[in-house]
């Protein structure tokens, strides 16, 4: 049973480019969460999605960031016009519908903006 | 608003010594509490969790944690540390309102041989 998959594992972008981070939840999981870990900090919640719906995006920066979880395919976290401050590790987690508190994390995508 | 405090940023212990990592939380309702471990360059692995019932919970890799409501604490313990335990440890509380985990800033554990 495969765990949460994230790709790419490492991503380098120049300032102003777009970054697309992908997350495939565990089989049977319909809830996806994105968290960001800045250097020397803990993980901070960004957004919570169910299939085709954004449930809570209270942790997302208001501009340049967007997320989706389509009916088919992985969840995507998109960062437009990246800046150096976006350099961080981005983790995806997934859970079953009935146990949202048991979140299983992927290995993360480490984004570096040069 | 909910918050999690891990007062120790770095801890160094000798292999074979006992370990206690501190965690305090602030949350109005009965908390769901978790400890995760993160090895360098890796994702988070769940060590143990507390929802209700027995306040002493056992986890993987020989770890345990004790929930103390009166102290708003959920400290992680291990009787004898192994060199492979060197990693970063995060305490987290689940808040049902948004289905989100709120994490502490982490404690970096170094094990001396």
Answer for the pair A106, A6: CB distance below 8 angstroms, yes or no: yes
| Per-residue pLDDT reduced to its tens digit, A62-96 | 999 999 999 999 999 999 999 999 999 999 999 99
Q: Give which of B21, B36, B99 to mutate to test A binding, by max A Cβ within 10 Å.
A: B99
DSSP code at position B2: -
Query: Most B CBs within 10 Å: which of A4, A43, A100, as the mutation test of the B interface?
Result: A43
d(C-alpha A72, C-alpha A28), whole Å: 13
Q: Residue B84 has what pLDDT?
A: 95
The single-letter DSSP state of residue B105 is -
Cβ burial B76-107 (10 Å sphere, 16+ → b, else e): bebeebeeebbbbbbbbbbbeebbbbbbbbbb
Question: Residue A99 pLDDT > 90, yes or no?
Answer: no
Contact A42 B104 (CB under 8 A): yes
pLDDT per residue rounded down to tens, chain B (113 residues): 788 999 999 999 999 999 999 999 988 777 899 999 998 878 899 999 998 888 999 999 999 999 999 999 999 999 999 999 999 999 999 977 778 899 999 999 999 99
Interface check for A2 against chain B (CB to CB < 8 A): the answer is no
């Amino acid at each position: 049973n495969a765990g949460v998959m994230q790709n790419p594992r490492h991503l380098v972008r120049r300032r102003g480019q777009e970054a697309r981070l992908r997350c495939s939840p565990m089989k049977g999981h319909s809830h996806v969460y994105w968290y960001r870990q800045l250097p020397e900090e803990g993980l901070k919640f960004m957004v919570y999605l169910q299939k085709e719906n954004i449930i809570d995006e209270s942790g997302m920066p208001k501009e340049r960031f967007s997320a989706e979880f389509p009916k088919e395919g992985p969840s995507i976290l998109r960062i437009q016009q990246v800046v150096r401050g976006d350099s961080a590790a981005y983790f995806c987690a997934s859970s079953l519908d009935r146990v949202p508190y048991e979140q299983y994390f992927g290995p993360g995508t480490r984004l570096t903006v040069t | 608003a909910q918050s999690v405090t891990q007062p120790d940023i770095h801890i160094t212990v000798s292999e074979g010594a006992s370990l206690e990592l501190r965690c305090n939380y602030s949350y109005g309702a009965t908390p769901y509490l978790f400890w995760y471990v993160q090895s360098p360059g890796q994702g988070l692995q769940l060590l143990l969790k507390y929802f209700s019932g027995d306040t002493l919970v056992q986890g993987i890799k020989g770890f345990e944690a004790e929930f103390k409501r009166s102290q708003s604490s959920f400290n992680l313990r291990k009787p004898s540390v192994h060199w492979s335990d060197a990693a970063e440890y995060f305490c987290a509380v689940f808040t049902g309102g948004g289905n989100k985990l709120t994490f502490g800033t982490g404690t970096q554990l170094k094990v001396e041989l």
